[in-house]
Amino acid sequence: MKQSAKMKQLELNIEKIAIIGEQKEEENFDFRIFLKGQDFEQVDKIVHRLDKEVRAQIDCEKCGNCCKSLRPCVTDNEIDTLSRIDNLSQHDFENGFVEIDNLEGIKYLKDTPCKYLDDKSCSIYTNRPKDCKSYPHTQKEEFITRTLGMIENYGICPIVFNLFEQLKHELDY
């Protein structure tokens, strides 16, 4: 495996990342299959190291692309917090701003871009939902089991994009 000292220059241009994401979709699905044959624990170690290295160079609060493109899931407690922030009843907040996935029963904020996005920053950063706080989920265990989500986020998030590309490089893919 290659050492992180050979980390490629990070791509930070959101428009370019989106284009490359479309161009490399098939390659990324092939890489997903490749990863399934790798040692899960070793891949997690590499991913967690890369996550720290990449995050150290990217300020999420100056990007906000996830807030423009994705809808976070929210719990009832988070809905309560958000409704209080907006000075609405929980019922009115849910009716206006929450959608339920009928198949899985998961509640999501329904608007994109997110109603709390202010330019490229979250206006409720300290009170944002847990799903937002843990995004892009690259620091979690069992990376290989979550590669489908990573592929979906590849063209959206500079962290995922650069981590995925560096992981390909380190695994000689």
- The label of the residue with tokens 């202010």 reads 118
Asked whether 121 and 60 are in contact (CB, 8 A), the reply is no
Task: Clarify whether residues 122 and 141 are in a common domain.
Answer: no
Asked whether 35 and 144 are in contact (CB, 8 A), the reply is yes
- The label of the residue with tokens 């962290």 reads 159
Structural domain of 27: 12-58+136-170
Q: Is 107 contained in some domain?
A: yes
C-alpha–C-alpha distance, residues 117 and 112, integer Å: 9
Task: Clarify whether residues 88 and 48 are in a common domain.
Answer: no
**What are 99-145's pLDDT values in tens digits?**
999 888 999 999 999 999 999 999 999 999 999 999 999 999 999 99
Number of independent structural domains in the chain: 2
Asked whether 138 and 84 are in contact (CB, 8 A), the reply is no
C-alpha–C-alpha distance, residues 14 and 21, integer Å: 10
Q: Is 5 contained in some domain?
A: no
C-alpha–C-alpha distance, residues 43 and 79, integer Å: 35
Task: Clarify whether residues 84 and 103 are in a common domain.
Answer: yes
pTM: 0.89
Q: Is 2 contained in some domain?
A: no
**What are 43-96's pLDDT values in tens digits?**
999 999 999 999 999 988 889 999 999 999 999 999 999 999 999 999 999 999
